[in-house]
Each structure stands twice: as C-alpha cells, then as structure tokens.
Amino acid sequence: MSVSSGIKRKIKTPPAAKRQDGSGPEKNGETGKKQPLVPMLLAYAKIRRKQLFTEIKKNKSAYFMIMPYCVLFLLFYLIPVCISVGLSFTNFNVLEPPKFVGLRNYIDLFFADNIFLTAVKNTFIFAIITGPVGYFMALFIAWMINDIKNKKLRAFMTLLFYAPTISGQAYIIWKFIFSSDLYGIANGWLMRLGLISEPILWFEDASYCMTISIVVILWMSMGTGFLSFIAGLQNVDRSLYEAGYMDGVKNRFQELWYITLPSMKEQLLFGAVMTVTSSFAIHDQLAALAGFPSVKYCVHTVVSHLVDYGSVRLEMGYASAIATLLFVVMIACNKLIQKLLGKVGR
C-alpha cells in the first residue's frame, strides 16, 4: 500500500455544519437545494436601490441638472409607449372605454389586413434602400467635406448639403418638378426634347411613384447624422494617422477603416440610429407628394397605416398594435446595427 493511499483513507469528511438553532441541513431536507429565485432578486433589487440612492446623494447637483430631461422623457416617451403597448390588446375607439380583446389586433394585422402587408413591404423597401444608401452617402460626403482645407468653404458645403433637411417642407419642390401637367419641369423638358408627346402622370402612376419617392427621401437624408459625422471626423486625433502610416497603412481607405471609423464609433452609432428611425417613419413626404392614400397604395407605409387608423378612423387599439410592432422592429434593427458597428476596424 502506498503512502498516498493510506493518507487518503485516514482523511474523513467533516460533518455538515449545524445552524445556530442546532438543526443541520439534513434535518430540514435542504441538502443540494438552491435558494429561491424571487428572494434573491428582491435582495439584489434592495442592494441596487441603496447604491442608487447613495450615488444620487453623492452627485446630487448632476442629477438635478438632468432631472428636467428625465421628467420629460418619462412623461412624453416612456409612459406613452407603455400605454400604447397596453392599448394594443384592446378595442378602443376613444369614445368608449377600452375592451380587452387579447391578440385579436395582431392576428387581424397579419391575416385579415392585406393593406398592412403592402405597407410592410413598402416600408422595408424604403428602409433597405434609403437607410443604408443614405447612411453611407452621408458618411462619404462628410468625409469628402472634411478634407476641404478652407474653413469657410467647408462650412458652406456643409450648409449646402444640410439645407434640405432644415428647410421644413422643401420636398414640395419635387411636386412642382414632377407636376402632371404641361407646366411641370420634367414634363416640359421631355416634351421639348421630343421624348414624350403628352404629359406623364408621375404621382398618379404607381410605376413612377416609388422611384421618385426614393429619390426625394435620399435627397433629404442629410440630417442630424450627417452633422454628427462632420463633428466626429473633425475630432479625430491627427497623431493617429502618423502612427498608422508608420505601422503599415498604405492608402486613404485603409486609413478610413483602421483609424478614422474606429475613432468615431459614437457618431457612427448615433447616425445609424437616426437613419433607421427616419427610414422606418417615412410618411409626411409621401403624403404630400403622392397623396394619402397613394394610388394603389404604392407608397403606403406602416406609419401611413398607423396614421390612417389612429387619426382618421380613431381605432386606437388597432393603431397601437401597429405602433408596437414598428417599435419592436426598430429596436431589433438598432441592436443589429450596434453589433455590426462593433466590427468596424477589425
């Protein structure tokens, strides 16, 4: 017999520790059982609440400064979203008290509302085309403008591209360009060149309406995200470029991918969130150009459907179900974008 085996035999397992009341774990049958989840969560919440109160007392001046925004966010964003989610399970027409109907609104949306399915298709067409194209176009133009050495010229170019967004209903000019009569600029030039013999009904023809609407949305896509890209590009540390060229960066595109973009991830994320939100919330421009509803619902979006049921028909329960689905899709897209932006520079 080896020495090690003899030592192992002599070692005995110590008896289970007893509680202060003298009862061991075997007595109450608690051996191997896990603690209940609910008490653990309550204890954790109590600890976190104490930490939060301690943090607030420690930085009370900072919390006092952000309190107005928090109150406004709670009153006009968080609470309405929660109310909308609750109303989506009811039949509510504003005049009568809400009646709980369960999932009937959601079932009707997907299995009894063909216009909603058309609106979903149109919304994803706008989001897939205008979202990524507008995002990368804004980033590329911001990158080009940032290379302009003259500060006044750079400011003028920034204002030039940002002007359509801050001009309110500037998209109305496209209604004049593609007017369906002889006075429209597009029809006038096409007839003068002999390409057509009679005016084209641009916004009354479903085959033209979607294409023109996409062009208008892209023309107005230089919004707040574009300004954030300009700000992010101007705040990149210039010493990083020198270090990058010493480490093997050979051209401007490698410089953009490995240095510029990783240094402005916050601005990229902000621009992506704003782009996704705006691409899924397209309605006002389409209603002004193509009418509401548009011919054959060719540019009818989910927000258009929401406005139809919420503001025109006053079926608030059904409209809340539409808004809830749109909210969930936006959150999912934002999470996907955050994951994709995390790979920038790798």
Q: What is the residue-level pLDDT of the chain in tens, covering all 346 positions?
A: 444 444 444 444 444 444 444 444 444 444 445 557 778 888 888 888 888 888 888 888 888 898 899 899 999 989 999 999 999 999 998 888 899 998 999 999 999 889 999 999 999 999 888 888 888 888 889 888 888 888 889 889 888 888 877 777 777 888 888 888 878 888 888 888 888 888 888 888 888 888 898 988 888 877 778 888 888 888 888 888 878 888 777 777 888 888 888 888 888 888 888 888 888 888 888 888 888 888 889 899 999 999 999 989 899 999 999 999 999 998 888 888 878 877 765 6
Using CB atoms within 10 Å of the CB of residue 60, give its burial: 0 to 12 exposed, 13 to 18 middle, 19+ buried.
exposed
Tokens encoding 275? 């782009």
Name the nearest CA neighbour of 178 among 221, 123, 218, 215. Answer: 215
Q: How many CB atoms lie within 10 A of CB 244?
A: 16
Do 304 and 286 contact (CB within 8 A), yes or no? Answer: yes
- The torsion of the CA quartet 177, 179, 184, 189, rounded to 10 degrees, works out to 80
pLDDT score recorded for residue 345: 56
Q: How many CB atoms lie within 10 A of CB 281?
A: 17
Distance from C-alpha of 268 to C-alpha of 291, rounded to nearest angstrom: 34
Distance from C-alpha of 59 to C-alpha of 321, rounded to nearest angstrom: 40
Distance from C-alpha of 157 to C-alpha of 226, rounded to nearest angstrom: 12
Classify residue 210 as left (phi > 0), alpha (psi -120 to 50) or beta.
alpha
Do 287 and 270 contact (CB within 8 A), yes or no? Answer: no
User: Model's pTM, two decimal places?
Assistant: 0.74
Distance from C-alpha of 232 to C-alpha of 215, rounded to nearest angstrom: 27
Distance from C-alpha of 312 to C-alpha of 226, rounded to nearest angstrom: 34
pLDDT score recorded for residue 120: 92
Residue 340, helix vs strand vs coil: helix
Using CB atoms within 10 Å of the CB of residue 6, give its burial: 0 to 12 exposed, 13 to 18 middle, 19+ buried.
exposed
Tokens encoding 120? 């979903």
Tokens encoding 153? 């010229």
